[in-house]
Amino acid sequence: MAISSLAPRTEAVDVSRPGIERKTGKAPVKRHVRLSVLGLLVPATAVIGWEAASRLGWLDRTIASSPSEIVVEIGHLLTTGQIWVHLWATFVRVFSGFALGGAIAGIVGALAGMSPILYRLLNPSIQAIRSVPSYAWVPVFILWFGIFETSKILLIALGAFFPLYLSLVSSIRSVDRKLVEVALVNGFQGWSLARRIFLPASLPAIFVGLRQSLGLAWMFVVAAEFMGATHGLGFLLIDGQTTGRPATLITSILLFALCGKATDGCLAWVSERALHWQDGYRPNSPEARSE
Amino acid sequence: MARRLPSELARSSFGIANSKWKKPSVTRCYHCHVQLAIGYWLLAIPKELKASSMVTIDKISKSYGGDVSVIADLQLSIKPQQVTVMVGTTGSGKSTLLRVLAGLERPTSGGIRWDSDHGGNGRPNLGIVFQEPRLLPWLNVRQNVEFGFGPAGHRRSAELANEILEQVGLRPFSLYYPRQLSGGMAQRVAIARALVRKPSLLLLDEPFSALDALTRSRLQEHLMELFVKHSLTLFFVTHDIEEAVALSDTIVVIKGRPGQISHQFRIDLPRPRSRHDQAFIVWKERVLEALTE
C-alpha cells in the first residue's frame, strides 16, 4: 500500500480557494448596500435640517454657517487651488512626524521587547514621558526647536511614538513560547529568529499600533499648527476663527475627518492583506463588515 | 593500517598507555601477539552490538527552583533505528526528559552522550514533534514544512519538501494555512517538518494524544511506515499503553515524583501488530501492571 494512500480523505476542508475567504453571494451584497444607506440616514437628515434651520433664520449664520455656505467655501478653496496648499502642508507634517516617530518606536520597541535588560532600563522613563499631556510639550518644543517645521514635526513624532512603542513591546514580550521553541529546535537564533518568528508574530499588534500612531499624528498636527503656521488645515482653523468665518472652520474640520479616515483606511487595507493568515473571529455578515 | 587498527582497538579497550605501543610492528614480542588476537576478536563483534546506543542519558536530574525535582538520576540509552517508547503517568517528568534531549532545557545534573557515529561532534540532527502541531500560522503548509530546513537551507530543498509532503499525503494542501487544517492534518504537517531535517533522532512528545481514536491509529500506522522508509530512530513519549505496545521495540516505564525508570521491556512482537492478538493484550497488561504496582 502506497504511503500516500493512507492520507485521510475524509477530513473535510474547503478545497475551492486556499488562503482566501469565500466572497459573499449576490443577495448579501444587496443587503449590504441597503444597510450602508441606513448609515447615511442620520447625517443626511442633519444636513437637511441644518440647511433649513439656517434659511428659516433659526440659526445665527455668523456663528453656525450652513451646508450650502460650506459647499461654496470648498468650491472657493478648490478653484483658487488653496485647498491643495493646505492639504499638502498638513500631509507633509503628519507623514514626516509619523515616519520619524514610528521608526524610532520600531527600533526602541523591538530592542526593549527582545532584551529584558533594555526593557528595565528604558521602559520606566518612556512611561513617565508618556504621561505628560501632549499640549504641555508645545511651549517646550517652541523654546527648544523654534516655531518652524522642526518643532512641529518633532511634536507629531512624539505623539506617534507611544502607541507603536507600547504595542510592539507588549506583543514581542507575549510571543508564544511554543513557537519560539519550534524555531530553536530547527536552528533559528538571533536575527533569523527575530525575523522569522518575532516579527510575524507581533505583526497584528504592529498594525494596531501603527493605526493608533497615525491617529495621534493627526491629533498632534492640530496642536503643532496652532503653534503658528502659514499653511495647513490647522492654520485654516485658526484663520476661520480669527476672521469670523464659520464655513472655513467647519470645512477644515470636515477635511480633517476625511483625511484621517482615508489614511486609516489605507493602513487597514494593508493590514488586512498582510494578516490574512490570522485565525480570528471574522464574521462574514455584511453588518459587521460595513463599519 | 589494517594491522594497526586492531591493536589500537585493543589498546584503547584495555587503557594501556599509548607511548608504550607507538611502533608495534618493528620488534613484536609475546605481548603484542596477545594484543593483536584480542584486537581481531573485537573487530569480529557485530556492529550493532558495539554501537549499541545512539544516545546515552547519563544520570540526568532536573529540578525547578531548587526543591521540586521532576526527574532524578535517569539512566537510559536509546538504540539506533529502533522505537523507544517512554510511558508514564502525567507529571512523571517524561516530557521534561524529552525537552532536555532536545536542548530546550538544561539538566540540573548529569549529561547526555551522543554516539559519534550518528551525529559527529556533539548534538546530532534532531527532529521534534510536540503534543500540539505548533505550526506557524503565518506560513502555509509548504512553508511550514520548509521551516524544518532551518535558517540556511531554503533553496536546496524544495524537492525534498515536496517528496515528504507527498509521503504524508498533504501535497494537494501545500497552499493551505494552518487555520484551514484539521487536527490530524496539522499534526502530519508537524511530522513532515521534523522529517525534512533528515533527523538521526526523532523525538515525539505525545504527538497523537489530542486526536480522535481513528485518526490516532491511522497516524500511528503512518508513522511506522515512515519509520521503516527513512530508517529512523524514534524516542516517543506517551501515556497511552496501547500506543506504546503498538509502536515500540523497547518500552521504558517512568513513574514517581521525581520520575524514575522502574521497568524496561523489550517488545519483540512482529510488525504490523494486531491489537486483538493475545500476545499484544498480554503485553498491555504487563505494562499496565508495571505502571500501577
Task: For chain A, say whether B150 makes contact (Cβ under 8 Å).
Answer: yes
Comparison of pLDDT for B30 and A38, the residue scoring more: A38
Report d(CA A253, CA A237) in Å as an integer: 8
Test B136 with A3 for CB contact under 8 angstroms: no
Contacts B176 to A, Cβ<8 Å:
13, 18-19
Calculate how close chain A gets to B171, using CA atoms only, in Å: 9
Alpha helices, H only, B15-157: 30-43, 47-50, 94-101, 116-119, 141-146
Chain B residue whose CA is closest to A185: B102
HSE-CB at A71 with a 13 A cutoff on CA atoms is 5
Q: Would you state the cell numbers that stand for residue A162, as one nine-digit string?
A: 507611544
Over residues A251-280, the pLDDT tens digits come to 899 999 999 999 999 999 999 999 988 877
Those residues whose C-beta lies under 8 Å from the C-beta of residue B105, and which sit 6 or more positions away, are B62, B96, B99
Report d(CA A235, CA A241) in Å as an integer: 10
Q: Using the predicted structure, report yes or no on whether residue A45 has a pLDDT greater than 90.
A: yes
Provide the mean pLDDT of chain B: 80
Report d(CA B23, CA B32) in Å as an integer: 11
Report d(CA A88, CA A97) in Å as an integer: 14
Report d(CA B146, CA A186) in Å as an integer: 10
Task: For chain B, say whether A200 makes contact (Cβ under 8 Å).
Answer: yes
Cβ(B101)–Cβ(B57) under 8 Å?
yes
Contacts B220 to A, Cβ<8 Å:
none
Test A277 with B215 for CB contact under 8 angstroms: no
End-to-end CA distance of chain B: 55
Report d(CA A274, CA A267) in Å as an integer: 10
Helix (DSSP H) and strand (DSSP E) numbers for chain B:
11, 9
pLDDT grade, residue B206 (50/70/90)? very high
Most confident of B52-61, B64-73, B76-85: B76-85
Nearest to B221 among A6, A12, A201 (CB): A6
Report d(CA A100, CA B112) in Å as an integer: 51
Report d(CA B125, CA B51) in Å as an integer: 18
pLDDT of residue B113: 85
pTM of this structure: 0.76
Q: What is the DSSP letter of B255?
A: E
Contacts B136 to A, Cβ<8 Å:
179, 182, 196-197, 200
Contacts A198 to B, Cβ<8 Å:
none
Among residues of chain B, what percentage have pLDDT more than 90? 35
Q: Using the predicted structure, report yes or no on whether residue A49 has a pLDDT greater than 50.
A: yes
- Count of positions (residues) in chain B: 293
- Model-level ipTM above the cut of 0.90: no
